[in-house]
Structure 1
Amino acid sequence: MSSHTQTQFPSTTEVKELVLDVGPVAHGGHCVARHEGRVIFVRHAIPGEKVRARLTDAGEAAKFWRADAVEVLEASPDRVEHFWHAADSRRAWTHGHPPVGGAEFGHIALERQRSLKAAVLTEQLQRLAAVGQFPGGEVTVEAVAGNSAGADPTYDADTGLGWRTRASFSVTAAGKLGMHAHRSDHIIALREMPLASAGINRLRLWNIDLQGIERVEVAAPANGSRPLVLLAPAPGTKPKRLSAIAAQLPEDVSVATFDPLTDDVQQLRGRTWVQESAAGHEYRVTGAGFWQIHRDAPEALVGAVTGFLHDGGFLSPGSVVADLYAGAGLFTAPLADAVGETGSVLSVEGAPGTSKDARKNLHGAPQVEIAQGRVERILRQKPRNFDALVLDPPRAGAGKAVVGQLMAASPRAIAYVSCDPASFARDVGYFQQGGWSLAGLRALDLYPHTHHLETVALLVPSR
């Protein structure tokens, strides 16, 4: 469901399969195997298994190949039956097509999934940041099950299903709801989405004729408020066709069109935003604006961030803090609560629409200043003596220049929230080169059955 590059899958007569001994897990949702000295990244396997793997990307000049496990010859004790046929590599290839992306760890017991994610985070921090000792000992990835479970009978933290309150879909040439195969333009039609919440699945989007639409985004807030379906029309799609699609959805669902390149949203029915709840606050999030997708992620992340800062003595009434890459204000609102009217919060977000949401969400907090623009520019324009910074950058991370600027601002502490172990580890390395150290680390399993995880770290100046 993320961006993809085109892969041409070989025809049946060209298929090449290899028997491989599966080695360690690697960042990106695959394991490492070798064949005649060449590295092969194998998906849908588990370290220690022997599998027959189908090559999916195997150019002779390539430094490494990619493959999907299609038969397990020696199984790991942690292998389980995949919960989703469309994402099950063995079943999908039997039917002549690759599996959908988005549940690449679904064949692994949840506890082992978390140990594999911990291994990836550990390896990235050791290799990219030269971290030799971790706060609290070894890295562990925590299961997350919050207070919202009772609101959705399909959500089950023990099985890792029903947690997604947001989902992104593609559309087949025949107008059916679908998802892409990994690293491919190939779209597989869907008849179910087990990771999605009841609020999404009740829409039964797979029964709707979506001809004229290229992409569908759905947001169904965990608080039960009105869902929003966003339709990205193909060029030339007529308004009448869009109205016909909207008419196939339940009346209590908002429907709008959006442009994935500009994020421009146009109302078809209802409202163009959803109302989210977290940490005792209400948040308006417009269109495809960012919000955590696991129903319990907002509470869990706010708790981790404020816990680190509060316990370290960096967050209290009167503190001066900043929330960088702030989105609609998920962290800004509880930070404002913590610093009170005698403190201040600078909330910085680059996207104009999302920053507008933040202004609406924080209008009742006079201690908050909302600034729209690049983090680097705003920090130069609004220098102050920060007690703490909260940093939640996009997947690419903050980068060397921004990390240098953050250290130059001389806060007493930085809470760094990351969804990518590689960019996170790289940035931790930059902090350490600048004389900072990793004082706290929590890893949360906010994406069960995928290789993704969320990390919250506390960074402090070593001096």
Structure 2
Amino acid sequence: MTENWLGRTLELEIGPVAHGGHCVSRMDGRVVFVRHGLPGERVRAQVTEDNGGGFCRADAVEVLTASGHRVTPPCPLAAPGGCGGCDWQHAEPGYQRELKAAVVAEQLERLAGISREVVVEPLEGGPLGWRSRVRLIAGRDGRAGLRAHHSHRVVPIDDCPIAVPGALDTALGKRWRPGTELEATSDGDGHVHLRELSTVHGRTKGRQLSGGLAVQHAADREWRLDAHGFWQVHPLAADTLAQLTAEWADAPRDGIAWDLYAGVGLFASVLADQVGPGGQVFAVESGRRAVADGQRNLADLPQVRLRGGRVEHLLTEAPKPVDVVVLDPPRKGAGRAVVDAIAEGEPDRIVYVACDPAALARDLSYFAGHGYSLTDLRAFDAFPMTHHVECVALLQ
């Protein structure tokens, strides 16, 4: 039986970065996933989780030999026992992108058999002050804060350096009933929207405390939508992704395009401009509010048909054959059934927007089974200081 190491302090050599915001180390035949360390460092790490299997998790609580890429975190709570929102504040920003690129490349190689050099590109504005939507929870003292990593414990905060300046002022400026969950969103015009969340029968509902209808700007359009619905969290991400999608989709005039997991129709608007009034854009989104927002925002584009429902159910109604498909699935990816359904449409090009490199790599392996190859890939640091990365893949 494996000895339980919970609470034990280990002296470790930190190995390569792994998917999820930690690095890999090994001791006595076991894998140790270490947070707050960097490749090549020697640290003392305290085990924070051990379920008795072949691996455990630990926090680097003391750095014995530091990496040349280590910096002082801009937030004192980005440390063992602190807030769980950031993974890489202790690494210089350029090195953070190198770590993320290594993760994307490793996932592509391991899960899809694709060997490719990856570069993660920064977005303008720097690594701080970018997060436009933050979810908070009130602790026992009524102060709003963020949860610790892998924990329900609330870490009270006075500010969050990665949040858009001013976005949290109202939420942090008063006391709340303990356990109250809040979501603050700063929109494209700088207005802050705040709601209180509650869970009823497993579904999250919100009581709007201020605002509610957000204004965003992307793809040469103004968007009015639910402030707490899906929209890219980084202020520059939506327009960056829309521009790249337009370049790679290259839908033919009077052609047919699909926009799957369409949200409010950002990519559908791009595709509509390309196919023109004589073409068709078949868009699918499961969120009811997003569908309503999208239909209202795209009312001037009759070539767009935005349907509400699950992608795997509605693709049977999609016009075929399709010239180009754009998909932006949730973190878990599209999955084999959706990939098979897309391949049945025989698109010439597929533009896959992904927020999880493991799910992307798995789905690329499914597409390869239908004869589609990865011909281009770009990755963006749309979530600085965290382990998350946004990728866009072109398949043909």
* TM bucket normalised to smaller: over 0.9
Residue 233 of structure 2 is matched in structure 1 by 293
> Tell me, what secondary structure is at the counterpart of 1:431?
helix
Q: Following the alignment from structure 2 to structure 1, what is the Cα–Cα distance between the partners of residues 361 and 201?
A: 30
- Post-superposition Cα deviations, 1:333-363, rounded to whole Å, max 9, x if no partner, equal 2221222212221111011111111111111
- Measured after TM superposition, the shift of residue 287 of structure 1 is 5.0
Of residues 30, 52, 55 in structure 1, which corresponds to 2:44? Answer: 52
- Measured after TM superposition, the shift of residue 184 of structure 1 is 1.1
> Tell me, what secondary structure is at the counterpart of 1:331?
helix
- Measured after TM superposition, the shift of residue 263 of structure 1 is 4.6
Conserved 8 A contact 2:36-2:60 = yes
Amino acid at match of 1:366: P
**Farther-moved stretch of structure 1 (330-339 vs 295-304):** 330-339
Residue 173 of structure 2 is matched in structure 1 by 207
Residue 189 of structure 1 is matched in structure 2 by 156
Of residues 309, 317, 340 in structure 1, which corresponds to 2:249? Answer: 309
- Measured after TM superposition, the shift of residue 375 of structure 1 is 0.7
- Post-superposition Cα deviations, 1:55-81, rounded to whole Å, max 9, x if no partner, equal 10124x222110001111000000001
- Measured after TM superposition, the shift of residue 227 of structure 1 is 2.0
- Post-superposition Cα deviations, 1:245-264, rounded to whole Å, max 9, x if no partner, equal xxxxxxxxxxxxx8694354
Of residues 338, 352, 370 in structure 2, which corresponds to 1:434? Answer: 370
Conserved 8 A contact 1:232-1:260 = no
1:314-329 map, 5 Å:
315-329=251-265
Amino acid at match of 2:83: V
Q: Following the alignment from structure 1 to structure 2, what is the Cα–Cα distance between the partners of residues 327 and 259?
A: 24
Conserved 8 A contact 2:195-2:207 = no
Conserved 8 A contact 2:23-2:37 = yes
Residue 294 of structure 2 is matched in structure 1 by 358
Amino acid at match of 2:194: V
- Measured after TM superposition, the shift of residue 398 of structure 1 is 0.2
Conserved 8 A contact 2:69-2:92 = yes
- Post-superposition Cα deviations, 1:287-331, rounded to whole Å, max 9, x if no partner, equal 531110001100111112111123xxxx24322111100001121
The structure-2 alpha-carbon separation of the partners of 1:79 and 1:444, relative to structure 1 and needing over 3 Å to count, comes to: same
The structure-2 alpha-carbon separation of the partners of 1:383 and 1:131, relative to structure 1 and needing over 3 Å to count, comes to: same
- Post-superposition Cα deviations, 1:227-284, rounded to whole Å, max 9, x if no partner, equal 2101114xxxxxxxxxxxxxxxxxxxxxxxx869435444455x43212111211222
Q: Following the alignment from structure 1 to structure 2, what is the Cα–Cα distance between the partners of residues 77 and 194?
A: 23
Residue 305 of structure 2 is matched in structure 1 by 369
Q: Following the alignment from structure 1 to structure 2, what is the Cα–Cα distance between the partners of residues 78 and 362?
A: 46
Of residues 54, 68, 85 in structure 2, which corresponds to 1:63? Answer: 54
Where does the alignment leave 5 or more consecutive residues of structure 1 unmatched? 1-9, 90-97, 146-155, 234-257
Of residues 208, 217, 229 in structure 1, which corresponds to 2:183? Answer: 217
Conserved 8 A contact 1:266-1:272 = no
Residue 390 of structure 2 is matched in structure 1 by 454
Q: Following the alignment from structure 2 to structure 1, what is the Cα–Cα distance between the partners of residues 209 and 86?
A: 32
Conserved 8 A contact 1:213-1:231 = no
Conserved 8 A contact 1:55-1:67 = yes
Conserved 8 A contact 2:185-2:192 = yes
Q: Following the alignment from structure 1 to structure 2, what is the Cα–Cα distance between the partners of residues 343 and 381?
A: 16
- Measured after TM superposition, the shift of residue 109 of structure 1 is 0.8
Give the superposed CA RMSD. 1.8
Conserved 8 A contact 1:265-1:287 = no
- Measured after TM superposition, the shift of residue 213 of structure 1 is 5.1
Amino acid at match of 2:354: S
Query: Are residue 232 (structure 1) and residue 190 (structure 2) matched?
Result: no
Residue 414 of structure 1 is matched in structure 2 by 350
**Farther-moved stretch of structure 1 (390-399 vs 101-110):** 101-110
Query: Are residue 277 (structure 1) and residue 217 (structure 2) matched?
Result: yes
Residue 389 of structure 1 is matched in structure 2 by 325
Query: Are residue 162 (structure 1) and residue 134 (structure 2) matched?
Result: no
Amino acid at match of 2:113: A
1:11-50 map, 5 Å:
15-50=7-42
Residue 178 of structure 1 is matched in structure 2 by 145
- Measured after TM superposition, the shift of residue 122 of structure 1 is 0.5
The structure-2 alpha-carbon separation of the partners of 1:361 and 1:48, relative to structure 1 and needing over 3 Å to count, comes to: same
Q: Following the alignment from structure 1 to structure 2, what is the Cα–Cα distance between the partners of residues 353 and 337?
A: 24
Residue 141 of structure 1 is matched in structure 2 by 120
Q: Following the alignment from structure 1 to structure 2, what is the Cα–Cα distance between the partners of residues 192 and 199?
A: 9
Q: Following the alignment from structure 2 to structure 1, what is the Cα–Cα distance between the partners of residues 294 and 322?
A: 21
Q: Following the alignment from structure 2 to structure 1, what is the Cα–Cα distance between the partners of residues 68 and 293?
A: 48
Where does the alignment leave 5 or more consecutive residues of structure 2 unmatched? none
> Tell me, what secondary structure is at the counterpart of 2:235?
coil
- Post-superposition Cα deviations, 1:184-229, rounded to whole Å, max 9, x if no partner, equal 111111111000112414x2522211115521111101332x3210
Amino acid at match of 2:333: G
Q: Following the alignment from structure 1 to structure 2, what is the Cα–Cα distance between the partners of residues 208 and 332?
A: 41
Query: Are residue 333 (structure 1) and residue 260 (structure 2) matched?
Result: no
Query: Are residue 81 (structure 1) and residue 64 (structure 2) matched?
Result: no
Conserved 8 A contact 1:387-1:413 = yes
- Measured after TM superposition, the shift of residue 366 of structure 1 is 1.0
Conserved 8 A contact 1:285-1:291 = no
- TM-score, normalising length: structure 1: 0.81
Q: Following the alignment from structure 2 to structure 1, what is the Cα–Cα distance between the partners of residues 292 and 20?
A: 34
Conserved 8 A contact 1:441-1:456 = yes
Percent of pairs with identical residues: 41
Conserved 8 A contact 1:284-1:328 = no
Of residues 354, 359, 368 in structure 2, which corresponds to 1:423? Answer: 359
1:113-128 map, 5 Å:
113-128=96-111
Q: Following the alignment from structure 2 to structure 1, what is the Cα–Cα distance between the partners of residues 373 and 200?
A: 42
Residue 262 of structure 1 is matched in structure 2 by 203
Conserved 8 A contact 2:333-2:363 = yes
